[in-house]
């Protein structure tokens, strides 16, 4: 099992967490109801050490699962040893981007390095699909490296904006996001269901 983009991951996460939330609410409600009953008997006993082992397995297993199913984790950790197919240097100052091009076109499954430098404030760098869902993001701190290696496995045209608050000057008086760059990234060359043709 591998998630080829964030949309697949977030859909999985939505289902998994919703099931968990419904379960924990139901368990406590059931527990509360039985607390008031004189004849309530334990349906099952949870041995303490098994419970603790379950928590440890949950805490550690979650990270092992994501490391093995989300491709950008290992890529991110090892990004300094991976030769990117393309590098895009971006600068930002006074809430204005200095971009390499109005739109960049990326080939499917190419490894792309975005290198963003802030000259003043702490910003964010995030790509979004047309439905508003997030493709990826990173923080952009002044005075330290802000580089992210990303592999695009699905075609699409993505908008870019700052994902970190950098003061009200990011917006017009009407609330329009002045740092939003529409259609900044275009990915081509993937099959309909994702990955290279």
Looking at residues 43 to 62 of the shown chain, list those that interact with other proteins (rule: CB under 8 A): 48, 51-52, 55-56, 58-60, 62
Q: Is the dihedral of CA 158, 5, 189, 192 positive or negative?
A: negative
User: Residue 93's Cα: distance from chain center in Å?
Assistant: 25
Closest to other proteins by CB, 28 or 188: 28
In whole angstroms, the minimum distance from the beta carbon of 152 to other proteins comes to 14
Give the dihedral of Cα atoms 187, 193, 196, 197; nearest 10 deg.
-110
Residues 107, 111, 147, 186: which binds other proteins (CB under 8 A)?
147
- Please give the full DSSP string across 11-58, using - where no structure is assigned: HHHHHHHHHHHHHHHHHHHHHHHHHT-TT---SS---HHHHHHHHHHH
Per-residue contact flags (x/-) with other proteins for residues 93 to 122, judged by CB under 8 A: ---------------------------xxx
In 3-state terms, what secondary structure has residue 10?
helix
Residues 19, 63, 188, 191: which binds other proteins (CB under 8 A)?
63
Q: Judged by CB under 8 A, does residue 73 bind other proteins? A: yes
Q: Judged by CB under 8 A, does residue 8 bind other proteins? A: no
């Amino acid at each position: 099992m591998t998630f080829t983009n964030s949309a697949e991951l977030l859909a999985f996460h939505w289902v998994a967490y919703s099931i968990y939330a419904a379960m924990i609410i139901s368990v406590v409600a059931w527990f509360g109801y039985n607390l008031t009953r004189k004849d309530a008997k334990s349906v099952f006993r949870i041995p303490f050490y098994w419970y603790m082992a379950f928590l440890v397995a949950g805490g550690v297993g979650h990270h092992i699962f994501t490391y093995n199913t989300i491709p950008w984790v290992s890529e991110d950790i090892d990004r300094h040893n991976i030769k990117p197919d393309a590098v895009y240097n971006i600068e930002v100052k006074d809430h204005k981007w200095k971009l390499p091009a109005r739109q960049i076109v990326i080939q499917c499954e190419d490894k792309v390095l975005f290198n963003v430098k802030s000259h003043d404030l702490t910003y964010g760098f995030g790509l979004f699909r047309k439905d508003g869902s997030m493709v990826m993001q990173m923080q952009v701190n002044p005075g330290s490296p802000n580089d992210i290696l990303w592999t695009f496995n699905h075609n699409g045209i993505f908008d870019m904006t700052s994902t970190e608050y950098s003061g009200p000057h990011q917006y017009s008086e009407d609330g329009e996001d002045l740092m939003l760059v529409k259609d900044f990234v275009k990915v081509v060359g993937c099959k309909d269901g994702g990955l290279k043709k």
